[in-house]
Chains A and B, each alone.
Chain A
Amino acid sequence: MPEQDKLSAIFAYLQTSPITGLALTLGIYCLAMSLFAKSRYHPLLNPVVVSVITIITVLVITGTSYEQYFAGGGIIHFLLGPATVALAIPLYQQLPRIKQLWLPIVITLFSSVVISGLSAVGLSVYLGASFSTQMSLAPKSVTAPVAMGISEILGGIPSLTAALTVATGLIGALIGTKVFSLLNLKDDAVKGIALGLTSHGIGSARAFQLSHEMGAFAGLAMALATFTTAFLLPWLLSAVGIL
């Protein structure tokens, strides 16, 4: 086999095999994590943001499509399912505190679903976004797989919603602790609820970095918001005449 053919065979293998997307995601995430640790956990160097930007850059430079990347990336994406199921464990471990705080949690939950949906749609209408963008933004505070389903029902673009959901999660994870210190919040349960309601799984991941209790409450808030938003949001948007 001539050298040229060998090279193109290697390139063809790398572009079609799931191993590339998988190794790329894991490798870049490891580098992003060590950068994050070296910067003493500077919020602007959030490992998800750094990884996403770096991977997109690599894909664009090498002319690889998202579908080709997702052959491998999808293996990691798949683990979101069992990870969501796993959130039942910290939830169970925090049961005594949850029992104690159930009423504030329910009040905050219902206000947050209304505030989240109406503010996202209202502000994007005001700023002149198209209808499908408005509807893609509406469910952005709930976990990506569910948000995609809600977006489809509303008339949004599910894959755009997935990206906007991740962005919302990241913004919340980046600025959460700043907002909490402005509000002078002390209780990890309160912070966890706010992070989970605003930034779903990414907020929970951030909360787990800060404390186990905060993570458990964020996981709880995420689960409750998912259910409540899925039931309430389509009804709410048609009640105010947007849908």
Chain B
Amino acid sequence: MDFIIGFTVLLIFQIIGEILVIVFQLPVSGPVAGMILLFIGLLIRGRVDTHISAAVTPILSHLSLLFVPAGVGIMLHYQLLVNEWLAIIVTLILTTILMLFSTGFIMNVCSTRLKRDK
């Protein structure tokens, strides 16, 4: 029962998020707005209720499963991939490496400097 209550809470926050996105024409998706709302809700409540963690733990531990159907969608772009595969693959790999390096480096420098100043 805890799972069902917790899952319903997640769905309700998502619905409120979707509505806010439409009403205020926000540039983010409904779920992201819902996540921010739930975060604010938790700040107000001051703790995580057991039914929420009963729903959240199984979902987050299988997060990668949820990306499989979107990944299969690559088959729709077979022709474009045949034409531009080199530019796409090189861009994907190099920019992802660049991103990991730069974000890891910047975050590391800033956080160690912060620790030293304290």
Query: What residues make up the interface of A, taking CB atoms closer than 8 Å to B?
Result: 21, 25-26, 29, 47-48, 51-52, 55-56, 59-60, 66, 69-70, 73-74, 76-77, 79-93, 95, 101, 103-105, 107-108, 111-112, 115-116, 119-120, 123-124, 127-130, 133, 137, 140-141, 143-146, 149-150, 157, 159-160, 162-172, 175-176, 179-180, 183, 185, 187, 189-191, 193-195, 197-199, 201-202, 204-206, 208, 215, 223, 226-227, 230-231
- Residue numbers of B with Cβ under 8 A of A are 7, 10-11, 13-14, 17, 27-32, 34-36, 38-39, 41-43, 48, 52-53, 55-56, 59-61, 63-77, 80, 84, 86-88, 90-108, 110-111, 114
Partner of A25, one of B10, B36, B64, B68: B68
B29 touches A226 (CB 8 A): yes
CA distance A170 to B11 in the complex (A): 27
Minimum distance in angstroms from B84 CB to a CB of chain A: 5
The answer for the CA separation of A231 and B60 in the assembled complex, in Å, is: 27
Chain B contacts for A175, CB-based, 8 A: 96-97, 100
CA distance A201 to B60 in the complex (A): 10
* Inter-subunit contact A185/B35 (CB<8 Å): no
CB neighbours (8 Å) of A189 from chain B are 111
A-B pair count, CB < 8 Å, reads: 290
How far apart are the CA atoms of A74 and B72 in the complex, in Å? 11
Please determine whether B72 and A66 come into contact, CB atoms closer than 8 angstroms: yes
Contact partner of A66 among B11, B27, B73, CB < 8 A?
B73
5 closest Cβ pairs, A-B complex: A104-B110, A73-B69, A84-B31, A230-B27, A127-B87
Residues of A within 8 A of B52 (CB): 89
**CB-defined contacts of A79 to chain B, threshold 8 Å:** 59, 66
